[in-house]
Structure 1
Amino acid sequence: MGHSQASKQTTHDRIVSIAAERFCELGIDGLSIANLMKEAGLTHGGFYKHFESRDQLVAEALTAAFRRSEDPQRSHRADFTSLVDEYLSPEHRDGVGTGCAVGALVSDIGRVQGEARELYTRKLRANFSGIAALLGDAQDSEKRAQAIVAFSAMVGALGLARGVADEALSLEILSTVQRFLLDSFGGDGEAPTQA
């Protein structure tokens, strides 16, 4: 790859990385191309040198956000308890842009079509299978049902905890759902301390 092509790829990757974080923070419709390109230090017109359409950017940014959440350096999810503890933590609640893209975009994704929605669907399936494996068996239908309930509860609790203006209530939501999941599906994790 020549210098200019490598430079273009580096710039492209930087745009995608910024978009992945901003989509999680602002929602898919909350980020304008002009603001994205300005943050990347580029002009609005330069967008089409990197992407055929906004839909392409959304798909690439989702892929990057999902890949980021799968990075083993970011996580200590060796078991179900660790997953629940990490997911329902105040740190994850506060890290909207760098946290779970599935949770951050749950209300947005129903309004998009095409590749981005397919990526989201594949990610959900993978999460359900991964959680079922943590619960004992990814192929067992009961474990899969538990995984769907657990992940749905975690995503919902995270969204509610982010949405309230009361820190004590936010922590109560996180700790209540955490305790429920660990009591229901196993684990000895401690709930976040309430303020």
Structure 2
Amino acid sequence: MGRSQLEKQKTHERIVALAAKRLREEGLDGIGVADLMKEAGLTVGGFYKHFASRDELVAEAVESAVGSWRKHQEEKGIDPASIPLDAYVDNYLSERHRDHCGEGCAYAALTADMARSGDAVRAIATEGLRKNFEAMTARMPEPETREARQKAIIASCLMTGALGLARVANDEAFSKEILETVKQFVKDLPNGGTK
């Protein structure tokens, strides 16, 4: 790949990464091409050298956001499914994750937006869900069983919902209570539920 093509690819990746962050912060409709390109230090005209449409950018940004954590772990040589449940839950249901939605889970930030999106975004989100559920299933005792898969789906849904609701709450103590309550419940789930 020539130098100009490499530069174009790096610029493209930078735009997508920035868009993925902004989408998680502002929603799929909250990001404008002009503002995004200005933030990237580029012109609006330059946008069309990288994308045929805003919809194409949104689909790439959603794909980046949905897979960013998994990709980051794999780049560090870590299989995401090998992260123990307790450590995964502690990280996911943390105040840091709650407070930095632009860097966090796309599902907790964009569930409703993705559900209202077109086929391309929904297909990307669906594939990401499948991978997330597979990784969560691997964290369960006897991961090859139907019960492990069910618990993985329940745990994933509880965690995503809890993170979103903790972000909604404008009372810090209440927000922490949501995170801590679901954190403990999910950690106990593989052993049959709460103690």
Regarding TM over 0.5, the answer is yes
Asked if 1:134 is matched to 2:144, the reply is no
Tell me how many residue pairs correspond in the alignment. Answer: 187
Cα distance between partner residues in 2 of 1:152 and 1:83: 14
Task: Report the equivalent of 2:52.
Answer: 52
Three-state SS of the structure 2 residue aligned to 1:16 is helix
Q: Does structure 2 retain, via aligned residues, the 8 Å contact 1:129–1:138?
A: no
Please tell me whether the aligned partners of residues 130 and 138 of structure 1 are also in contact (alpha carbons under 8 angstroms).
no
Asked if 1:108 is matched to 2:113, the reply is: yes
- Once the 2 structures are TM-superposed, how far is the Cα of residue 139 of structure 1 from its aligned partner? 3.4
CA displacement at 1:183 relative to structure 2? 2.2
Residue 74 of structure 1: how far off its partner (Å): 10
Q: Could you tell me how far 1:137 is from its partner in structure 2?
A: 4.0
**Which AA in structure 2 matches 1:169?**
F
The Cα shift of 1:136 comes to: 2.6
Identity %: 48
1:36 aligns to 2:36 (yes or no): yes
Aligned counterpart, 1:192: none
Counterpart position of 1:11: 11
Deviations 1:129-164 (A, max 9, x none): 111110034432111111111110000000000111
SS of the aligned residue for 2:111 comes to: coil
Q: Which residue of 2 aligns with 1:97?
A: 102
Report the residue type matching 1:23 in the other structure.
L
Residue 126 of structure 1: how far off its partner (Å): 1.0
TM score, norm. by length of structure 1: 0.89
User: In the alignment, is the contact (CA less than 8 A) between 1:109 and 1:117 conserved in 2?
Assistant: yes
State the partner residue of 1:173.
178
2:167 is matched with 162
Taking the aligned partners of 1:116 and 1:137, their CA distance within structure 2 comes to 33
Match of 1:182 in 2: 187
In structure 1, distance between residues paired with 2:17 and 2:142: 34
**What amino acid does structure 1 have at the position aligned with 2:97?**
H
**Greater CA deviation, 136-145 or 17-26?**
136-145
Gaps of 5+ in 1: 187-195
3-state secondary structure, aligned to 2:155: helix
Task: Indicate the residue corresponding to 1:81 in structure 2.
Answer: 86
Q: Given that residues 66 and 106 in structure 2 are in contact (C-alpha distance below 8 angstroms), is that contact kept between their aligned partners in structure 1?
A: yes
Q: How much does 1:113 deviate?
A: 1.1
Unpaired segments ≥5 residues, structure 2: none
4+ runs deviating over 6 angstroms: 74-77
